[in-house]
Every structure is written in structure tokens, then in C-alpha cells.
Structure 1
């Protein structure tokens, strides 16, 4: 039985998400992100990077779009895709306090300056705005497999990733006056490379939540931007004008692909 990959390292996380293990992760994240974003209200929401994960598909905000450093593949039939193309995530082209929700799927662990990315996220979020971050947990079976891969040069996850533990991420967020929620962990199956073996270990999802909840391979953390001395009276979105955030060049604000 061969369950671990011994091929050349996969550089792109987007390509890795097309594998059996990648689909396993993507399905779990889609379920968690749908649960979290469907009840977050506001006007403007954006996802940073990784278009292979549809982080805002359940959002009911009127203005949602993908912010990425590359133009993604054309949208599928019947799908509307709004895209803002930027140079990097360390300098977001949005006005301060202009976004209600930002989702970062695996952005920080592949960023050169993850602290600066978080500072930019905090800057552009409105008071009481929310951020949702997903990442790989280094303290898991998958994290152990990746560590072994650094010694043998046989990686299971993309080689370039510097994975951040949930507790470490929460500490970073608290330094930015972000109130952190409980978070979610999942994907407890061993790092298998085939759908067959991942399915055989599916029973570990329920067992992991109960017996070893901190060892999930993937996590999702949610936080709210708090501003000292500010008190919101009633739902803020009722008094805001539904406009796209300022600061994006008109030629680069949106790109809608239709088929």
C-alpha cells in the first residue's frame, strides 16, 4: 500500500487542490466557509487569492469579488466573476475602512510578509468588519508529513508554504485589536494521496472533533475588527450607501467574464 507521494514537489497550491487530497481539503473548507459567510451582512466582501476555493459563494452581500495577483481562468457558463488584479497582497488598492468582509484562503502561509498582509487587511476593514483565514496546521499528521518531506525532498504539500499554527495566528490578530472567535479544525485523515484511502479514513472526521480536536490538518479562523471608543447603534449596514470601495483604478476595478 502506497499512500504518500514520492513525486517531484508540487509548487502551486492551486494545482495541488486538483489532487485527491486537495479536493478533500477544498470540500471541507467550502462547507465551513459557507456556514460562516452566509450570515455576515454588509455591502462589500472580497476574497484574496486562490480562486480554486470559492470562499464567497454563499455570501449575500451585494458586492463580492476576487482580489488576486493573476487573472484567473474564464468563468464557467452562467457564472459571473468579478476580479481585481493587483501586484501583491501587501499593498491593497482599497480605501481605509471600506470592506465589510475579507477572506484569506491559505494566503498568509505563502506570503513573503504575512504580517504586512494582515496589517493591510486590518486597515481596509470597516469597524466591526470581519476577516476569515484558512491555513494548514503544522501540528497535525499532514504537518508531520511535510516536515519529513523537507528532509527527504519528497513533499506532500506545496514546498513553498510556511505553515502557521492556529494559536500563533490568533496571537497576530490580537496584536491588531482583532477579536478572535473559536475557529474550526478538520481534515483528520492521514496524508493519503488517493481518494480511495481518504474515503476509508473518513470516520476520523467525527472522531477527531471529539478526541483530538487540535490535530486537524486544516483550520479556519474568524476575527472581528474592534475599534476602541467606538459604539455602533443598530446594524451599520442600514445607514451605509451600497457602493464599491474607493481607491481602485477605474480600469482595474472589475473584470467580469461571462460565457
Structure 2
């Protein structure tokens, strides 16, 4: 029996989806508020406005070519072939974009192409090494055996946090920060999720890498490039300090200074 695919937009309306959406929204608000530039792009997941606290003059929301475009989407495109020139964007956010993409590595490579040097990419994804990921794997097994219901959205497999870091490193990115969140059991009801809310503080302290969701901020590094300060043209040139010139002694014994 094939998996019954749950769309991300529908899943975010469930109690665990609303909990996840609230946590990720707060993380994006904090991460992008001090990222400066001119052009920012969000790929997918219109339910979370990842750029609402960012102050860049040009911000776009792009919907995937395989999904129904949201009313707020500015363009509809294939995430593996973005309609932007190389080195043209200062910030790209990927809210669950990679785990729902047909070819996540190609999508990430395309993001690297359009980002300017020192541009940033912000990624969040569901963690397979978590209680939520464990329930999803069990549900997939039961579905193949003839029963069970999937817990998390998407047809593709979840991307491991360390695998994502390897992809970023191979593409020339440097991870600036990474964190995990939501350590509660994979319950469906609001009451059960709230009952185990104490596990969030405990998990963040004792088993931080097993949160249900991870959040990564990475910067595109270009080797051999040196950034100049914004006021480099206005800085006065440093005058060379006068240096004494060694004198010479004439035949009469008098010292002449050159």
C-alpha cells in the first residue's frame, strides 16, 4: 500500500502543526531581523511569513511549480531552476522546502548560485532523529503492512541535520548557527501536547539534537574574496612619516646631510 501523502498546508492546521508553526515563526523573526541587503526570497510554505521582520526593500514569496500558488505568492517557479541571476539575492529562506523537494540537493545548489558572496540561507526542517521522526518511520512501516496513518507531511524522506550540514559545507557555506526545538512526544491532540510541554526545557538541556525540528543559518563564503568597509573611498590616505636620510662625511671631516 502506498503512503497517504499529507500536504504541509493541511498538516500545519493540526495541533502539532500549529505548535511547530509558532516555534518556527519566532525563530525566523529573530534570525532575519538583522540580515541586511536589498533582495530576499522565501521558497515555499506561505503559511509561515519568514521575512516579516526583515527590512530589505525587495522581498518575494515563491511558490513551487507543483503546488497551488498562495494568494500572497509573488511568483511560481521550479525551485531547482530559479529565475534569478547569479549572485543577485542577499537572503533566501527555506521553510521545509528541501524535505518536500523532488531533488533537495539541486535546490540547495540553485540557492547557492543566486546568493551573493556573504549572503545567507536560513533552513528549517523536521528531524528524523526525534520522537516525531520515529513515529513517522513506524507509520510508514505499518502503511506498507496494510494499516497505520502517517504523522508528518510530505512524500519524501526527512533530511538528517548532519547530512544537511555536509551539503552546505560542500557548496561553500559556513554554518553560523543551528538549534533544535520541540521535544514533546508525537501526539495528535492539543491536550496531550500541552501535557508534555515540560519536556521542551528538559530536552533542550539534556538531548538537544533530538528535537522535532532543526533551524540552521548559513553564510555563503567565497575563497580569496576580501570585503572592504563601506567608507573605504572616504578614508584619507595615510601620509608617509618623514624618515632621516643617512649623512656622509666629507674629506674635511664635516658631515653633510642629504
Alignment TM-score, normalising by the size of structure 1: 0.82
Find 1:56's aligned residue among 34, 37, 51: 51
Secondary structure of the structure 1 residue equivalent to 2:150: coil
Alpha-carbon deviation of 1:73?
A: 3.9
Aligned partner of 2:93 in structure 1 is 103
Structure exhibiting the larger radius of gyration computed from Cα positions? 2
Secondary structure of the structure 1 residue equivalent to 2:214: strand
Asked whether the equivalents of residues 185 and 219 of structure 1 are also in contact (C-alpha less than 8 Å), the reply is yes
Asked whether the equivalents of residues 61 and 75 of structure 2 are also in contact (C-alpha less than 8 Å), the reply is yes
Asked if 1:12 corresponds to 2:7, the answer is yes
Asked if 1:84 corresponds to 2:75, the answer is yes
Aligned partner of 2:173 in structure 1 is 178
CA deviation digits over 1:145-179, x for unaligned, max 9? 01100111221012513111111100000001100
CA deviation digits over 1:72-128, x for unaligned, max 9? 443xxxxxx461111x10000001000000000111111111111011000000000
* Distance (Å, rounded) in 2 between the aligned partners of 1:185 and 1:129: 23
Alpha-carbon deviation of 1:197?
A: 1.1
Segments of structure 2 that go 5 or more residues without pairing to the other structure are 144-148, 232-258
Segments of structure 1 that go 5 or more residues without pairing to the other structure are 1-7, 75-80, 237-259
* Distance (Å, rounded) in 1 between the aligned partners of 2:121 and 2:99: 16
Find 2:151's aligned residue among 140, 143, 156: 156
Asked if 1:132 corresponds to 2:139, the answer is no
Alpha-carbon deviation of 1:10?
A: 4.6
Find 1:223's aligned residue among 218, 225, 245: 218
Secondary structure of the structure 1 residue equivalent to 2:74: strand
* Distance (Å, rounded) in 1 between the aligned partners of 2:84 and 2:98: 19
Aligned partner of 2:103 in structure 1 is 113
Asked whether the equivalents of residues 9 and 47 of structure 2 are also in contact (C-alpha less than 8 Å), the reply is yes
Structure 1 runs (4+) deviating above 4 angstroms are none
Alpha-carbon deviation of 1:234?
A: 2.4
* Distance (Å, rounded) in 1 between the aligned partners of 2:22 and 2:5: 20
* Distance (Å, rounded) in 1 between the aligned partners of 2:208 and 2:230: 34
Alpha-carbon deviation of 1:135?
A: 0.5
Asked whether the equivalents of residues 63 and 70 of structure 2 are also in contact (C-alpha less than 8 Å), the reply is no
Question: Residue 54 and residue 128 in structure 1: after superposition, are their counterparts in 2 closer, same or farther (change >3 A)?
Answer: same
Alpha-carbon deviation of 1:208?
A: 1.0
* Distance (Å, rounded) in 2 between the aligned partners of 1:29 and 1:161: 21
Asked whether the equivalents of residues 55 and 103 of structure 1 are also in contact (C-alpha less than 8 Å), the reply is yes
Question: Residue 83 and residue 181 in structure 1: after superposition, are their counterparts in 2 closer, same or farther (change >3 A)?
Answer: same
Q: What RMSD in Å do the two structures reach over aligned CA positions?
A: 1.6
